[in-house]
Copies of this chain bind each other. A is one copy, B any other.
Amino acid sequence: MRLKDIGEFGFIERIKSGCLIRNSNIIKGIGDDCCVFRNSGDLATLLTTDMLVENVHFLRTEIPPYKLGRKSLAVNISDVAAMGGIPKEAVVSIAIPETMELLYLDSIYEGLKSMARKFEVNLLGGDTTSSPQHLVINVALVGESREDEILYRSGAKPGDVVFLTGPVGSSAAGLDIMLAKRSFEGREYLLDAHFDPHPHVAAGRIIGGSKVASALIDVSDGVAADLAHICAESRLGAIIEEEKMPTTELFRAYCQRFRLDTRRLSLHVGEDYVLLGTVPAQWTDKLEVALESDGCDFYPIGQMVSELGLQLKCLDGSIQKISSTGWDHFK
């Protein structure tokens, strides 16, 4: 049997038993955006790590190194945001092909630092090593939060409203425009949605601090795949209303121009790094007001249901089952 036979999540299931050696101070181990454990003080510490591998997560010929650096940290910051936490201290490991230009590396670190400044994250060390062929960047990030404000994937209840904190699909369009090498007037905007995502830390803090939301995740694999994570951890299903899916005008124009399936790009291709959450129906107004009064967005897109699986209420009113397909590294 090979890895591709069981996929990324099958692999995680396979390895996770036996990983928790002491559990007295552990709030959350494997299975969420961050692990969470108690410090001696009154705040919980969040720890997350994400690895970007050349020719898997990025093409060195396409993404500018500055944006590669920004994205390497941003995807980790987004994981802390998805718990409602504040990102704090980071370490960066990098495996570097021996012939790589220093200026290229400088740009990567400039990008890392600019993202670090934006969110007041310290870069406190790491590991630098050579690589036989491909560039690999790994960031580990510690964050913190009050324990009672942390949001997990497992808290959703039937009837809860499913919401997004920003439009989706633009990153998928950016990936498409890059791979198909298309010309388009909004090309740079869409490329940046893919190359330079903006983690929703402020929204995550508001959602956590509101104490009314029930689950939260960031959209890194696609809305369908990430909502499926909430469903799996909460043992529920969900219905998404297609007409409520927030997308940008440029995304829609791009899909129309090149006859692309907006549904596939907005639901099944990920990396928009907005937050996807659930909130009991009676608290949606309160949460929406809290988010919007602080300049963040709230887009209700559906609801959690007892019946397992994902369903889509299409534009014509019909309801169909949809797959939870998103990015899986091994399938």
Contacts and interface: CB of A to CB of B under 8 A. Distances in A.
A121 to B, nearest CB: 6
A39 B37 contact: no
Contact of A105 (B11, B123, B126, B138): B11
A276 to B, nearest CB: 19
A121 B25 CA distance: 12
Interface string A32-44: 1011010111110
A321 interface: no
B57 A122 contact: no
Given A95-B56, A105-B3, A330-B98, A128 B8 contact: yes
B53 A136 contact: yes
A29 B125 contact: yes
Interface string A1-19: 1111110100110110011
Chain A interface category by residue count = 35 or more
Interface in A62-115: 88-89, 91-96, 98-103, 105-106, 109, 113
Q: How many copies does the complex hold?
A: 2
A95 B91 CA distance: 18
Most buried by B among A1, A8, A55, A138: A138
A217 to B, nearest CB: 14
Contact of A89 (B4, B31, B37, B109): B37
A124 interface: yes
A132 B103 CA distance: 24
A315 interface: no
9 contacts: A3-B98, A26-B124, A29-B124, A34-B125, A35-B91, A40-B42, A49-B126, A53-B130, A56-B131
List of 7 A-B pairs having minimum Cβ-Cβ separation, nearest first? A40-B41, A140-B140, A35-B124, A41-B41, A19-B123, A51-B93, A39-B39
